[in-house]
């Protein structure tokens, strides 16, 4: 060892040395600091015995070993995604019709056929596409395409009101309706003014008298009218006769309240859905003239006199069912509800159809004319009603509120109230002046098949239903006055006598009943 170097090992007590430490005679072991690689510090102190080794003797590093490289993780992730996609593809249900498969491929913007591809391969390719794009890809693509087509159509054909020229007979009919309705509206308004001049106490007493009369209503007579259910009933203008229609195809005329048969009219070969009297029948109309009109489920409409049991005439058969017919107050026009989503207006003097009116999205079921003759109200299977101005052909009010088809409709004698009955078991009151529903009557627990306003003053309403009951309601307060129960099955129709307020009902139990004050 050269001079000036420190020994890395302790010197024994027997040897002499020339190092930095001095030996002891007792042979005590000497400790020295490690030698620095750069030469070391000469003044460093020796470590004490038993002390831990300096940190410089321990290998430390900030490097870590990667378990998997990023490329391997991406491969595993892609592999898992491919397994998941194949699982989804197996779960997707695709049509087996090859033409539909091609149509769906075209909708997705893919070729409908590849070289050497068969129907099974094409179906598997569609599954693969849907597994990548999602099962709702077809719906989204179809919705987007439809939206684009709609936008293009709207741009090419902007919304506009269009008119077409009607026949000369329609112009003549509308001129007649204008002149007829103005005179009647003037008379109605004059009567309303006179009524409001009556003291309030007198009007209140009259209402109470009507309510007391309604509470006293009971059964006056009952008659087995046919071997099949009775579908409709209607009082004659003089109140002495009742016409009934039946599913047997017969129309019968009865004397009331005796319930004695007067005429049996044979002509229909199917269910007869309705029968109505001419406004002048039994008053000024001759028995040999037109007195009754009936409609059948096969689309037939037949005209009857009281002097023969054979039809006086017949309309050309409609292609769809005619559920209801109704006379205009003038007696010159007849409205027919056809199940081709339209209603028709016939001029009986000209013997031709003057109006083909569309507007409902489903079959039109019922129709009623305002007493003035200027307006008509229709109810349809689309759950809506419409009010039409016959003088212009426009729909002036939309009756929206029922949840199910509207099966019955009627006008109040005041000319601006309408009552409708629906399959949602309710009756609704509408105000044409306010253009809204003013009251909803939760009238029955079954389908409401008939509604009628009191013919004399409109002070009460009668409703009938499939729940087998007939109910009387006070107009204004809409308080239930009386429930008439006697039919064993569904009540199909109801009517009120225009003379004395007697009520007639017909039912599925093949009977009609007459109700009145005890």
Q: How far is CA 376 from CA 43, 249, 326, 343, 458, in A?
A: 122, 28, 10, 11, 18
Q: Which two tokens stand for residue 356?
A: 């083909």
Q: How confident is the model over 74-99, as a mean pLDDT?
A: 78
DSSP string, 392-457: TTEEEEEEE--SS-EEEEEE-TTSSEEEEEETTS-EEEEETTTTEEEEEE---SS-EEEEEE-TTT
Count of CA atoms in the C-beta half-sphere (13 A) of 229: 17
**The predicted structure's pLDDT at residue 48:** 52
- Cβ atoms of residues 366 and 408 within 8 Å: yes
Instruction: Decide if pLDDT at 12 tops 70.
Output: no
Task: Give the separation between CA 207 and CA 205, rounded to whole angstroms.
Answer: 5
Name the DSSP class of 112.
S
- Cβ atoms of residues 374 and 364 within 8 Å: no
Confidence grade of residue 424 (pLDDT, cut at 50, 70, 90) = very high
pLDDT tens digits for 30-71?
555 454 444 444 444 555 555 555 555 566 667 765 555 566
Task: Give the separation between CA 374 and CA 371, rounded to whole angstroms.
Answer: 8
**The predicted structure's pLDDT at residue 56:** 55
Q: How far is CA 296 from CA 175, 274, 423, in A?
A: 31, 7, 22
pLDDT tens digits for 250-303?
999 999 989 999 999 999 999 999 999 999 999 999 999 999 999 999 999 999
The CATH superfamily assigned to 169-517 is YVTN repeat-like/Quinoprotein amine dehydrogenase (2.130.10.10)
Instruction: Decide if pLDDT at 390 tops 70.
Output: yes
Query: What pTM was computed for the model?
Result: 0.70
Q: Which two tokens stand for residue 336?
A: 């027919």
Q: How far is CA 378 from CA 211, 342, 402, in A?
A: 30, 10, 14
Which residues, in sequence order, are CB contacts of 407 under 8 Å at separation 6+?
A: 365, 366, 379, 421, 422, 423, 447, 448, 449
Instruction: Decide if pLDDT at 208 tops 80.
Output: yes
């Amino acid at each position: 060892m050269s001079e000036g170097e420190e020994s890395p090992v302790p010197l024994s007590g027997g040897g002499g040395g020339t190092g930095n430490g001095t030996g002891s005679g007792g042979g005590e072991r000497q400790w020295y600091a490690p030698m620095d690689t750069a030469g070391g510090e000469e003044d460093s102190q020796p470590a004490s015995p038993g002390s831990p080794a300096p940190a410089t003797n321990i290998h430390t590093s900030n490097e870590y070993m990667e378990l998997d490289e990023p490329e391997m993780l991406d491969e595993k992730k892609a592999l898992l995604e491919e397994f998941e996609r194949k699982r989804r593809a197996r779960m997707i249900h695709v049509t087996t019709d090859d033409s539909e498969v091609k149509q769906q491929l075209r909708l997705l913007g893919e070729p409908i056929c590849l070289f050497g591809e068969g129907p099974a391969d094409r179906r598997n390719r569609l599954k693969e596409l849907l597994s990548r794009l999602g099962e709702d890809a077809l719906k989204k693509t179809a919705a987007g395409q439809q939206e684009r087509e709609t936008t293009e159509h709207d741009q090419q054909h902007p919304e506009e009101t269009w008119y077409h020229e009607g026949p000369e007979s329609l112009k003549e009919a509308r001129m007649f309706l204008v002149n007829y309705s103005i005179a009647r509206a003037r008379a109605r308004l004059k009567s309303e003014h006179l009524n409001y001049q009556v003291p309030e106490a007198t009007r209140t007493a009259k209402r109470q008298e009507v309510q007391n009369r309604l509470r006293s209503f009971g059964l006056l007579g009952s008659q087995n009218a046919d071997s099949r259910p009775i579908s409709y009933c209607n009082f004659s203008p003089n109140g002495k006769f009742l016409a009934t229609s039946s599913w047997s195809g017969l129309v019968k005329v009865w004397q009331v309240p005796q319930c004695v048969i007067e005429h049996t009219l044979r002509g229909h070969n199917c269910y007869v859905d309705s029968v109505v009297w001419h406004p002048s029948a039994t008053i000024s109309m001759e028995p040999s003239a037109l007195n009754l009109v009936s409609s059948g489920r096969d689309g037939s409409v037949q005209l009857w006199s009281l002097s023969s049991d054979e039809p006086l005439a017949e309309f050309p058969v409609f292609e769809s069912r005619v559920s209801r017919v109704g006379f205009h107050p003038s007696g010159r026009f007849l409205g027919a509800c056809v199940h081709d989503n339209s209603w028709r207006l016939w001029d009986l003097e000209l013997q031709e159809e003057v109006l083909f009116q569309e507007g409902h999205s489903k079959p039109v079921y019922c129709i009623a004319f305002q007493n003035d003759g200027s307006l008509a109200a229709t109810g349809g299977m689309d759950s809506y009603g419409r009010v039409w101005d016959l003088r212009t052909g426009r729909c002036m009010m939309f009756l929206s509120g029922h949840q199910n088809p509207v099966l019955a409709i009627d006008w109040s004698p005041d000319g601006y109230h309408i009552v409708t009955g629906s399959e949602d078991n309710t009756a609704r009151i509408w105000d044409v002046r306010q253009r809204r529903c003013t009251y909803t009557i939760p009238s029955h627990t079954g389908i409401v098949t008939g509604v009628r306003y009191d013919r004399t003053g409109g002070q009460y309403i009668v409703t009938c239903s499939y729940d087998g009951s007939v109910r009387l309601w006070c107009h204004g307060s809409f308080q239930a006055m009386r429930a008439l129960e006697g039919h064993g099955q569904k009540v199909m129709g109801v009517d009120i006598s225009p003379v004395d307020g007697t009520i007639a009902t017909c039912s599925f139990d093949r009977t009609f009943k007459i109700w009145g004050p005890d």
